[in-house]
Structure 1
Amino acid sequence: MQTVAPKDMLRIGTRASVLAMAQAHEARARLMAAHGLPEEAFVIEPITTTGDRIQDRPLSEAGGKGLFTKELEEALLDGRIDIAVHSSKDMPTILPDGLELSSFLPREDPRDTFIGRAAPTIEALPHGATVGSSSLRRQALIRRMRPDLKVIVYRGNVQTRLRKLDEGVAAGTILALAGLKRTGLEHIATDVMPLDKFPPAPGQGAICIESRSDDAATRAMVEAINHRPTAVALACERAFLAALDGSCRMPIAGHAVVDGDRLSFHGMILSVDGREAHEIVREGAASDAAQIGRNAGDTLRAKVGPGFFDGWG
């Protein structure tokens, strides 16, 4: 059996959650297949992030997207790990100097799911029922669909959220279909939300790999597993988010689809209470992905005016 010296192992950093570990294992498996390497050529390093530790308040009050990436990026910069595997929707639009997103894995289904106890769908919930979610986007979309519902902050891993449902803390919650599929829990979904009515967060369903900009050998290694259609779609979605100065302090949805050399994009921004929503649809050449996303964001920002963003942190 081929042996690998510790100095030759690629160190993969990841959050320690069940889903994050599954994503790291997928990245490792793709790297093994692409380069004909054994499993022992890689070591997975679980790292607890600030976002994992904060469970008592909304992340929007604690600093936004970077809470799930800060410690991983610090480990990259000081050389403790060689790459970091992330959920793309957790990534800030501006990365620390010296780091880059060097690869995207093929995107899983980007839709959200409803897991209901009192009813199988949001539409069928009793009047005034409670729905739990930690995402401002999901909270706003729920309120847009059903203004009568009570929406509460609802954090924790999947198992914790399911336990809260069983304890009656909420009648239902929203989870990403991609995460359920990657952890073998797709069967717990009682409804899959349509993209037009419940658009996803930019980057939802896509795993990305972050590496050091000056590490050419590692970049070449991970670029071998880059899925170009996903990378192009994410370039559009992340440009849209950046144009809106997006973070998890804002209810923003965006989803791009690449078909050959063409790209279509649907974006939405909402007020926190869900009463006001503005949508935009754009199409164009896939080679113009970032420009399409940026223009869509700029157009929406100009349309709603600065007052729409007041109070979003």
Structure 2
Amino acid sequence: MKKLSSLLFLLIIQNVFSQFFTASGNPDQYVPVVFRPTTPDGGNRTFFISRPNIHEDIMWSAHGVVAITGIGNGWGSNGNSLSVNNFTYGTESGNGTAIISFLGRVVCAQANNDIVVYLRGGLKYYYVNATLISDTGSHQDQAGQNLSTVSINDPLYNLPKGSYFGTFDINAQTSNFASIENGNVGIGTSKPQYKLEVNGKSSFEDNMRVNAKLEAKEIKVTLTPTADFVFAEDYDLPKLEDVEKHIKEKKHLPEIASAKKMEKEGVNVGEFQIKLLQKIEELTLYTIEQNKQLKIQKEEIELLKKHMNSNNQKNR
């Protein structure tokens, strides 16, 4: 009962102290709006921005709520970080058109602890736990940060429903971590297309190794270049004699790490697959060349047989 009373009290306080404003610009734009979520004594707190009705101001315009916890850069304090829970939904110009969140992007201010939130322009917003500092369609501060209004079709904007974490900037392309409404999880990307998508390179030296079994129906590794350079006219195909010598001395294929090294340092799956493909393509070239030699030898044998048969007939 005590918890219920506390919750009701919090809801009443939020309703009493929530404020509203109409963002500058128009619904075809995302505009930078500056909020200061600090308390009077200098602390930081989570603040909320919402639109309770999808038809408010403009039919089918975005609605929902976003919770933002953030600390600005504060003149290089390195304490900047962002956590965003985005539950917003809307459409571009009517039911059935492109989905447009009212939240476009969230950026830490560089000169202080303010948070710059890109909101869809021309719409009415309610906010609580923050002070509205600026809504002019642009943001410039003493640290040199310069942000301006953009189109809603800009690929860096329009965050999908989900939860995000970042250090300075959370946009529609990149964030340190993202978990969106369809269940996809992204590391280094804000719009993961798979159940787990990692955008970035990790190494054994600077990352924790997890001793676990991974089971998946499909894993897609995107890596360039591939191994098709083997088929280029100027590719220097190793001589088989040199390959044989390397194997006898090193006990593993050229350009492939030894078993001992793999056990110690692990294997980069993408790079290893390319190396294996390279060796398969080299083996294919060896096989093609051997096939040519076999054809020549077969033709020579046939000619030799004919010559021998001819001589045998003459000697009879």
TM interval, shorter chain, is: under 0.3
More helix by share: 1
What is the TM-score when the length of structure 2 is the normalising length?
0.25
What is the TM-score when the length of structure 1 is the normalising length?
0.25
Higher RCO structure (Cα 8 Å, ≥6 apart) = 1
